[in-house]
Every structure is written in structure tokens, then in C-alpha cells.
Copies of this chain bind each other. A is one copy, B any other.
Amino acid sequence: MRISVLGGDGYCGWATALYLSKQGHEVSIVDNFARRQWDHELGVETLTPIRPLTERLRVWKALTGRDIELVSGDITEYEVLASMMRDLRPEAVVHFAEQRAAPYSMIDRQHAVFTQVNNVVGTLNLLFAIREFAPDCHLVKLGTMGEYGTPNIDIEEGYIEIEHNGRRDVLPYPKQPGSFYHLSKVHDSHNIAFTCRIWGIRATDLHQGVVYGTITDEVSLDERLINRFDYDEVFGTVLNRFCVEAAVQHPLTVYGKGGQTRGYIDIRDTVRCIELACLNPADRGECRVYNQFTEQFSVLELAHLVQHTATRMGLKVTIDHLPDPRVEKEEHYYNAKHSKLVDLGLEPHLLSESLLDSLLNIAQRYRDRIDQSMFIPRVDWRKARNDRHHTTVETGAAR
């Protein structure tokens, strides 16, 4: 089918675009390269040496014979989306094109406002573009498990039946997001549900867990196809960061007690979930929510798993409990449902020692690119201004 991947130059987007192309879908990418820009702003780099998108696409074509069309543009400009929808007539749009790091949104007011405006306006534009130019097109939107927060009851997939004073209704699951970024996803979810109701948009809102891993079958074909692997305190997801820390025998940076429990997913499952959602579109007017993760872990459990694997590999790794820079419960109940994607056919890659092995090996392979000063959290949720602007010089010195 014809699928457009918004944000196809990013971490999940790139893996998804290649996977869908490999499966025989007619794939296009829309991206404005903002993710690369934010690296420059923060003075950080992906562990892995990613190539420019145009080169990636040339290599993919040379290796597989498959074309992926590139639309360079910012979806907060409506005309970018409007012309893409008119010209390419996608049957599904996979929407990754958002600022996706909680710490980035918590740097200061400008970053909070940027994150919410960028994400909300991009999604609004997409909803209007679908309504105007391709009303049958299926929106596959990346949300986050972080929209739910950590309630003291089981987390359902998007909706919950509530009995109250003798009456019943099925209502949107209450949201308690934990950063301006997570809030932006909650705003999106409400906007999407509304347009499903008034315009009959088809939508699947994937509430994704924390993604880990970097190797998918497609990117492993050639080093020039390699995916991002972020390990810095702003964009690095926790398991990836721990593996890089372990590779250089830096203490694992656990925030607070480490009892923070979340849903996790291997990037190889992310790409499969996206295809499953595309192949099984929502009905007109339906706003489906799937919780896209495969296992729950606490941060401390992950640290112990990484420590165990690293030790077996001969690395000496300790665990540091840093003061938690986030405002979150360090111990709490957490039980989130995640059966709908399995019902559609997902066969999870559960976190294994061999996967941790492979992540540690990648980290060791690129160890001369590791900047250890990037491990330490410098964005404090309690402050309204965190200075992340004067990093380059310090970073150079600390390397």
C-alpha cells in the first residue's frame, strides 16, 4: 500500500520506512531534518555515524532497487502536507514528525512552547489535510505510554468503562502526563479523537513504550543505512544509555530509587506494529488506541540486566543512584494492558541477553564517539530555566 512516513529521518521513522519499503509498500518520507538540528543545538551526536538522508535513500535504492520518495519540509507549514496528500495520495500516513524528548521540552519556556506548538500544529495540519484531500486515508499516530502517567489502577488501551452512581459509560482513559512533551501527545490524542467524531477520520493512536535497540534487518544491510543510537541525557532512551555507559565502564545513571516502571519495546517490534496497524486500518470515524510495548521493567531492573550482561563480557559496571531530575513517583503500581497488537499478529522480541550483548557490542564498536559528559542529567523538572545552551565548550573539555 501507499504509506507516507512523517519524520522518516528519525530513530523510529527511519527503521519504519525501510521495513515498510522492504515489505513491498510504496513508501515516502516527509522530514525537515529537525532532529539533526537539535543535536547541533545541544552539542550531542548519535553514537552511530548516520549518513545524510539523501545518501541513505540512494544506498537503499542501490541495494534493493526500491524507491523511497523524499519530501523535504516542515509539516507545521500546511502546504507541505497539502501538496504531499494531493500528489502521493497515501492510503496510510505514519506520523512520527514530532519533538519526542521529555527533557528537551523541560529545558525552559521556549522549549516547552516550541514542543507543544510544533507537535500540536503539525498534527492539526495533518488532520485537516486528511479531511480535505484524502478522507479515507488512515492516520497512524505515534503517541506514548507516558500519556497515562502512573495511576494506581490498571492502564487500559485508550478507554475505560466507568461505573459511577449507578450508570456506566466507556470514556477516554484519564491522562496524567509527566512533561511538556508528554502533554503535547495528550493534546494530540484529544484533537485526533475529536476529528474522528466530526469528520469520520480513521485513526490509530499508538501509545508506544520506551524503544530500545538500533539494529533491524534492513539497516544491517550496509553501514551507510545505520540508524540513530542516542545515549545523551536529553534524547537517549534509558536502556540504550545504560548500554553505552556500560561499554565505557561508566556507572549506570539510575534516577532516584529506580522503581519507575514503564513499558518497553524492541525497535524491531515497533516497525512490525506500524505495519500491522497499516494493514488493519481503523474504520471511518474510529479512533483506536493500542498500547505499543511488549514488557514492563523498572529502571533498576534494567540496570541490573545490563550490569549482569556487561559483567559476563568482562566489563566492570556499577550503578549510581542520582537525584531524580524529574518529578515522578520513584516507586508505584504499574500494570498496563497491551494485547491488541498481539491480537493483530505481533510476535514480540522480548528483551534477551543476546540483544543486550549486541547493544553492548555496538557501543564498544563506536566507543571513540562516546562523550561521557552527556550521561549526566542537566535538565531539572523543578527549574523553569535549565541552561543547555553553553554545552559545546565544556563537552569538548570533558571528553
Give A residues with C-beta under 8 Å from B.
78, 109, 112-113, 116-117, 120-121, 124-125, 128, 131-132, 151-154, 160, 162-165, 167-169, 171-180, 183, 186-187, 190-191, 193-194, 197-199, 327, 333, 381-382, 384-385
Q: Is the CB of B194 within 8 A of A183?
A: yes
Q: Is the CB of A168 within 8 A of B183?
A: no
Cα A177 to Cα B171 with chains together (Å): 12
CB within 8 A of A154: which of B125, B164, B174, B187?
B164
Q: Is the CB of B152 within 8 A of A128?
A: no
Instruction: List the 7 closest pairs (A to B, CB-CB), nearest first.
Output: A171-B174, A152-B169, A153-B164, A198-B327, A109-B128, A187-B187, A153-B167
Cα A327 to Cα B381 with chains together (Å): 39
Query: Closest approach, in angstroms, between the C-beta of A78 and any C-beta of chain B?
Result: 6
CB within 8 A of A120: which of B167, B177, B187?
B187
Residues of the B chain whose Cβ atoms lie less than 8 Å from the Cβ of A175: 172, 190
CB within 8 A of A190: which of B152, B187, B197, B385?
B187
Cα A330 to Cα B113 with chains together (Å): 37
Q: Is the CB of B197 within 8 A of A327?
A: yes
Q: Is the CB of B128 within 8 A of A124?
A: no
Cα A167 to Cα B167 with chains together (Å): 19
Cα A164 to Cα B132 with chains together (Å): 40
Q: Is the CB of A121 within 8 A of B125?
A: no
Q: Is the CB of B194 within 8 A of A384?
A: no
Residues of the B chain whose Cβ atoms lie less than 8 Å from the Cβ of A178: 194
Query: Closest approach, in angstroms, between the C-beta of A51 and any C-beta of chain B?
Result: 35
Q: List 6 other contacts, CB 8 Å, given A116-B187, A160-B162, A183-B190.
A: A109-B125, A113-B125, A154-B167, A172-B176, A173-B174, A183-B194
Cα A293 to Cα B88 with chains together (Å): 49
A-B contact pairs, 17 of them (CB 8 A): A109-B128, A112-B124, A113-B121, A117-B121, A120-B120, A132-B385, A151-B171, A153-B167, A153-B169, A154-B165, A160-B164, A180-B191, A180-B194, A183-B190, A198-B327, A198-B381, A198-B382
Residues of the B chain whose Cβ atoms lie less than 8 Å from the Cβ of A131: 384
Residues of the B chain whose Cβ atoms lie less than 8 Å from the Cβ of A165: 153-154
Residues of the B chain whose Cβ atoms lie less than 8 Å from the Cβ of A117: 117, 120-121
Residues of the B chain whose Cβ atoms lie less than 8 Å from the Cβ of A154: 164-165, 167
Residues of the B chain whose Cβ atoms lie less than 8 Å from the Cβ of A164: 153-154, 160
Residues of the B chain whose Cβ atoms lie less than 8 Å from the Cβ of A382: 198-199
Q: Is the CB of A152 within 8 A of B168?
A: yes
Q: Which residue of B is nearest A380, CB measured?
A: B198
Cα A120 to Cα B385 with chains together (Å): 19
Query: Closest approach, in angstroms, between the C-beta of A113 and any C-beta of chain B?
Result: 6
Residues of the B chain whose Cβ atoms lie less than 8 Å from the Cβ of A78: 109
Q: Is the CB of B116 within 8 A of A120?
A: yes
Evaluate whether A177 and B153 lie within 8 angstroms (CB atoms) in the complex, with A78-B109, A124-B113, A125-B109 already known: no
Cα A165 to Cα B167 with chains together (Å): 17
Q: Which residue of B is nearest A384, CB measured?
A: B131
Query: Closest approach, in angstroms, between the C-beta of A174 and any C-beta of chain B?
Result: 4
Query: Closest approach, in angstroms, between the C-beta of A390 and any C-beta of chain B?
Result: 20
Q: Is the CB of B167 within 8 A of A171?
A: no
Residues of the B chain whose Cβ atoms lie less than 8 Å from the Cβ of A113: 121, 124-125
Q: Is the CB of A167 within 8 A of B333?
A: yes
Cα A152 to Cα B167 with chains together (Å): 7
Residues of the B chain whose Cβ atoms lie less than 8 Å from the Cβ of A183: 187, 190-191, 194
Query: Closest approach, in angstroms, between the C-beta of A130 and any C-beta of chain B?
Result: 10
Cα A110 to Cα B109 with chains together (Å): 24
Cα A78 to Cα B190 with chains together (Å): 26
Cα A116 to Cα B173 with chains together (Å): 22
Residues of the B chain whose Cβ atoms lie less than 8 Å from the Cβ of A109: 78, 124-125, 128
